[in-house]
Structure 1
Amino acid sequence: MESLGIWAPLGIMLLRGISIILPDLLSSVYSLVEGSLLGFKTGCVTIILADLIFCQAAFFIAGNYGKEPVRRLVGVKAMKRI
């Protein structure tokens, strides 16, 4: 993992972010991967930053565009669950 440098946390952060915006994907799996691959300290920081950034992005999308684009993105079944 050290040979990947900054790209490992950024890649896993992106995957976790996508799982936050698309709620059908499990984000807890990425938390376990981050902790095991990056270590506890780096994994926690990466998880916190990803959650902060992508939860704000999801809130922005929903607040500015309403339910319809989100419904088209995730589907009717996921909207009922949300």
Structure 2
Amino acid sequence: MGVKQISVSVENIPGKLLSVGECLGAERINIRTISVADPSDISTVRFVADDPEKTTNVLKSHGYSVKETEVIAVETPNHPGAFKRYLNP
């Protein structure tokens, strides 16, 4: 299933990721998945939210630079080898 992934760059200092979460929580936006890449002074936060358009608008209104990317999302059972069924032709 195709979904929109939101990417935001934030300073790699305590509290910045919390600020992103608070902005979204105040607008009742649910984060479904999240990953954080921490290569240097700037971290890239990538997540899927339940309302990507609203999420983008909220983050931009708080001064964040936002990028949307179409990605594939797959929910798999929680056991070893479960993902393999999606890879076999």
Do they fold alike, i.e. is TM over 0.5? no
TM-score range, shorter chain: 0.3 to 0.5
What is the TM-score of this pair, normalised by structure 2?
0.31
Higher RCO (Cα < 8 Å, 6 or more apart): 2
Higher share in helix: 1
Higher share in strand: 2
What is the TM-score of this pair, normalised by structure 1?
0.33
Say which one has the larger Rg. Answer: 2
